[in-house]
Structure 1
Amino acid sequence: MQAKLPKIFKLKAGNASKTVLLLAGIFFFLCLLFTLHRYYTFYASFDQGIFNQVFWNNLHGRFFQSSLSSSLSTNVVHAGEVPTVYYHRLGQHFTPALLLWLPIYALFPSPATLTVLQVTLITAAGLVLYVLARQYLQPPLAVMITASFYGANAVIGPTLSNFHDICQIPLFVFTLLLAMEKRWWWLFWLLAVLILAVREDAGIGLFGVGVYMILSKRFPRAGVAVCILSFGYILVLTNLIMPLFSKDISQRFMLERFGQYADGEEASTIEIIWGMISNPLRLLVELFTPLDRTIKYLLGQWLPLAFVPAVAPGSWMIAGFPLLKLLLGKGESVLSITIRYALTVVPGLFYGSILWWSQRQQKFKPAFCRLWIGCICLSLFFTFTSNPNRTFYFVIPDSVKPLVYVSLPQQWQHVNQMRPLLAQIPPDASVSATTYIVPHLSSRREILRLPALELRNDAQEVIKVDYAIADLWQLQKYQAAFKSDRSLLKDLTPLIDQLINNGEYGIIGFEDGVILLKKAASSDTQAKAAWLQFRQQLVEGDRG
């Protein structure tokens, strides 16, 4: 019988640690390989550029300023104002914890550094999770918990995305829970503060930890303090502090996510909460609809843990509050398991599963182990086939009907022809670029996303950018399947014609569908001829 047992059952503490390190190493290597490849082949997108510009401005003493974030502000989106270079992003998302990683960025100031940082933080979270699991579980079970983390769709998908602030949450929360188990209260409260500093809504997950501490009767007084701290912080921050920087939290973000609970053109967090409480019927409808997507999302979160979180009280106590925030919100992204929001639910699910197994270790039989391994494999399969954030674009088509596919040699050839054009843009010049070029040019003060060309500089003067660069080839490839790409291509084509014809900009380079414009420059004859030929192809394609 012993020979038929899965190898996991034979693990001792020392071998288990080596196995976990091996799992972490594989996760780190593969995720880093694919995310860096995604960046260097120009599939990292706008958010990568935003965070890199924020880090770059932080490095130069202009803390949390970003012209890219300004272009998304309510002043620009709703009031039609010109983006500013001195706009403080803290009005959109309050993220002081990012300053922790500024020394690393100072050593390697590049958008790619943020990609490496994200993968490192998630990998480290898995290692802390193993140590946390060992507080309750025998080595085989602790290894399985860790393997589930590294195989979870809700972990891999967000790791393979643009850099985001939520990538800090698993490491901080697992460390906080470990500190709680060890009674290292100085570390616990330090991590509580760091979690709150991640972003304005991170306190929701911390509130769940406080609720667990109370309901489990383990640390009721500390739990009450955690709940008061987290809830009070959210209210003070979103109603008093963030509005000092901009009105985005009340006029844009709260309405975009929870506008169904409010009336009027703006709403505070207090008004949203009251809107939920005062209309319980609407609250229930939002909680369970759309039913199919809600069930699919829950199953996806539970799958790598063999559905244990569904019956684990601890998982519901801690993960229930960030999950509630997602279920009560609106928009396609809130119930997408491959983007950053899914990570907020993960720590509670895993800690609750650890607690559940701690009372049932004798039920960890070979048959269930095989089932569990199958669930992890299935999670990995669903992760790969979902092509999170277009990471595997060179394997999985973005669309089948119509077929939209870019091969690896084709994309690298396109990138190699694009890079000489990027090299012509001075590092201190103002520039506007299409989405997938933005990250590569974002280490500068003045940058926008096309078709925007105007911004307000440090002298508070409205200027037009010095350079504009557009990857029209990419838009042409994807327009058949994606309305946004088709619409942008139709907008950019006449805009380029207008800028050239009125002499405002000149074409100084055109390669493989990528056009580079310079303000007040004469057009290069060959580049302009190449543009006109490409433009004719677009016209013929529309007719076809």
Structure 2
Amino acid sequence: MRSQIKDELSKIPSGKFRSDLAIGAVLPIAAIFFTLCLILALHRYFSFYASFDQGIFNQVFWNNSHGRFFQSSLSSSLSTNVVHAGEIPTVFYHRLGQHFTPALLLWSPIYALFPSPATLTVLQVTLITMAGIVLYILARQYLEPRLAVMISASFYAANAVIGPTLSNFHDISQIPLFMFTLLLAMEKRKWWLFWLMAIFILAVREDAGVGLFGVGFYMIASKRFPRAGFATCILSFGYMLALTNLIMPIFSADISKRFMLERFGQYADGNEASTLEIIWGMVSNPWRLFVELVTPFDRTIRYLIGQWLPLAFIPAISPASWAIAGFPLLKLLLGQGESVLAITIRYALTVVPGLFYGGILWWSEHPKSFKPRFRRFWIGCICVSLILSFTSNPNRTFYFAIPDSVKPWVHVTLAQQWSHVSQLRPLIGQIPPNASVSATTYLVPHLSSRREILRLPSLELRNDRREVVKVEYAIADLWQLQRYQPAFKGDGSQLRDFIKLVNELTNKGEYGIKGFTDGVVLLQKGVNSDSQAAIDWKKWSNDAFRNVD
């Protein structure tokens, strides 16, 4: 990658030249990013490493294409009514109570043409790639071509970009494209496009307005567009308050009883809290706010370094970067949970646009600093970021190259995984496309294009007739749990529980074993077990249960 970047830079003349030639300089880098990420992300999906969230979004898109907008039985299984109140998941649950994501409708026509979970993977890689191209055009408003190419190359090499691109599909993948387009519209004074992008950003999800508020704050603080900045701040902040306190509770109580408490429960008392109550909890206890902001100190520093690294740490000294990216960064630093400071998952993308725009503005004021010595240092930073992106093994994308554990040794080779895939696909093929089903996590995406689906061990749901029924099929991939359980206690615990569940269901006669191969068991409700499959299951499950660490 380092040599490729050098080659592209050497082709670019130092003087100004036409825009069509300028953008041609960054297209090869964008093409490399698109091709590699698409291959890796699709391989992750087709080799059964895409997981639950991919299934949720696919089911939402599938229901949207059938006129049942934003309904999902998979999302229902995560709702506060199910998790906290013990209710039965429903097929008519509206996910808008968890995350308000109307912007997904923009891509529904594409999904209607190619209705598959893999379509969402292609869409995500495409959105991020396009964002890098728009970033280049944005950089050219201020910078000469060499610098603009470096900015774009840094974007495509950022761990905070690569990791989320190689993950399950997520709504935040729209943010960089919308934000860079909004900032470009601001620079060109195309206010109709600016406000259109502002609406699109707010429609991404309920907290996307935090990043938009940062843009408004910059517009005011820089005194460039103070009136538009005030309007942007009022629009974004007012929208978030109205949405989370008035609109989302119409669909469900998840925002106050689950999501706010999971992320910001340390600022609240009781079993539920609105956004206004969380804000008041922060303001009324500044010491707790400060402690949450700086702790854990080591992880916070590592996270900031990871975000700054591909831009050679320039955002750390750019006031504009702090002004815009500071607000989404503050939201992450003040939250709780392991995921908020994980640079390879989707939340990291919310910080990226502000950092890169701030980097552009800093370089516009210090163009003479772009000397050969610093250029070499910058390229070195890009290479280190690429290496870290690989070695961090985001979302197990590189499972075939990087072991999940060294001691004990846990590693699944390409040959092993694809041999397993070839044996489990025929079992999945036995499940009718309209049948209700419950599946283990990594099988959910491949079965999610249907109305009634749950994740094991759940078996009951409420259908469109408002009747509580048990799913017709259940399928569990226990081979993967068996492979990973020596290093991960949670996988061993799940393996035991699923073996017990299958034995319980078959002993009661509720379900019969329709097929079993290579640690994958398929159950069907109300049928007798296939005799050979039952024998194979008993032998395998007894051995697996005894060998669980």
Normalising to structure 2: TM-score of the pair? 0.97
Q: CA deviation at 1:17?
A: 2.5
CA contact (8 A) 1:97 1:194 kept: yes
Q: CA deviation at 1:445?
A: 0.2
Paired residues of 2:136 and 2:151 also in contact (CA < 8 A): yes
Could you tell which deviates more after superposition, 400-409 or 94-103?
400-409
2:422 aligns with one of 416, 421, 424 = 416
For 1:53, the equivalent position in structure 2 comes to 59
Which residue of 468, 481, 495 maps to 2:487? 481
The answer to whether the aligner puts 1:11 opposite 2:12 as a matched pair is yes
User: How much has 1:57 moved relative to structure 2?
Assistant: 0.2
Is 1:540–2:546 an aligned residue pair? yes
Q: CA deviation at 1:488?
A: 1.2
- Residue-by-residue CA offset, 1:54-96 (whole Å, 9 max, x unaligned): 0000000000000000000000000011100000000000000
Decide whether the 8 Å contact of 2:499 with 2:545 is kept in 1. Answer: no
Stretches of structure 1 lacking an aligned partner (at least 5 in a row):
none
Query: Equivalent residue for 1:43?
Result: 49
Q: Which runs of 4+ in 1 moved over 6 A?
A: none
CA drift of 1:18 comes to 2.4
Match of 1:345 among 329, 351, 376: 351
Q: Say if 2:319 is the partner of 1:313.
A: yes
Matching residue within 372, 385, 401 for 2:407: 401
Q: Map Cα deviations across residues 401-455 of structure 1 (whole Å, 9 max, x no partner).
A: 1111100010000000000000000000000000000000000000000000000
Cα offset for 1:484?
Answer: 2.1
5 Å matches for 1:482-497? Answer: 482-497=488-503
Superposed CA deviations along residues 126-174 of structure 1, whole A, max 9, x for unmatched, are 0000000000000000000000000000000000000000000000000
CA contact (8 A) 1:213 1:222 kept: yes
1:378 aligns with 2:379: no
Rounded to whole Å, the distance in 2 between the matches of 1:324 and 1:312 is 16
Contact 1:16 1:140 in 2 (8 A): no
| Aligned partner of 1:62 among 43, 50, 68 | 68
Task: Please name the residue that 1:518 is paired with.
Answer: 524
Aligned length: 539
Percent identity reads 76
1:117-136 equivalent positions in 2, closer than 5 A: 117-136=123-142
Q: CA deviation at 1:483?
A: 2.3
Q: Does 1:223 align with 2:229?
A: yes
Assess if the C-alpha contact under 8 Å between 2:309 and 2:385 holds in 1: yes
1:299 corresponds to: 305
- Which amino acid letter does the alignment assign opposite residue 338 of structure 1? T
Matched, 1:529 2:535: yes
Distance 1:187 1:265 in 2: 42
Displacement after TM superposition at 1:487 (Å): 1.6
Q: What SS class does the counterpart of residue 463 from structure 1 fall into? A: strand
SS of 1:162's equivalent? coil
Name the SS of the counterpart of 1:34 in structure 2. Answer: helix
Could you tell me which amino acid in structure 1 is paired with residue 441 of structure 2? T
Provide Cα deviations, 1:301-336, integer angstroms capped at 9, x if missing partner.
000000000000000000000000000000000000
1:215-364 aligned at under 5 Å gives the runs: 215-364=221-370
The alignment partner of 1:292 has SS state of helix
Residue identity in the other structure for 1:196 = L
Separation in structure 2 between the aligned mates of residue 345 and residue 377 of structure 1, nearest angstrom? 21
Distance 2:430 2:6 in 1: 58
| Aligned residues of 2:435 and 2:452 also touching (Cα < 8 A) | yes
Shift, 1:15, TM fit? 5.5
Q: Structure 1 residues 529, 6: CA separation in 2 closer, same or farther (over 3 Å shift)?
A: closer
Q: Are the equivalent residues in 1 in contact too, given 2:173–2:346 (CA < 8 A)?
A: yes
Residue in structure 2 matched with residue 77 of structure 1 by the alignment: 83
Q: CA deviation at 1:491?
A: 1.0
- Secondary structure of the structure 2 residue equivalent to 1:432: strand
1:182 matched to which residue of 2? 188
Which of 145, 170, 176 is matched with 1:139 structurally? Answer: 145
Which consecutive residues of structure 2, in runs of 5 or more, have no partner in the other structure? Answer: none
Q: Which residue in 2 is equivalent to 1:214?
A: 220
Instruction: Say whether residues 1:154 and 2:160 are aligned partners.
Output: yes
The residue type paired with residue 55 of structure 1 is F
Residues 348-400 of structure 1, C-alpha deviations (whole Å, 9 max, x = no match): 00000000000111110000000000000000000100000000000001111
> Does 2:121 align with 1:115?
yes
Alpha-carbon separation, structure 2, partners of 1:17 and 1:100: 26
1:106 is aligned to 112
Aligned-pair CA distance for 1:10: 5.6
CA–CA distance in 1 between the matches of 2:10 and 2:445?
46
Measured in 2, the distance between the counterparts of 1:402 and 1:253 equals 36
> Please, what TM-score do these two structures have when normalized by structure 1?
0.98
Q: CA RMSD in A?
A: 1.1
Cα distance in 2, alignment partners of residues 368 and 182 from structure 1? 30
Contact kept in structure 1, 2:23 and 2:137, CA below 8 Å: no
SS in 2 for 1:437: helix
Aligned 8 A contact 1:6 1:366 in 2: no
Q: How many angstroms does 1:540 deviate by? A: 2.8
Give 1:170's aligned residue. Answer: 176
Inter-partner Cα distance in structure 2 for 1:103 and 1:145: 33
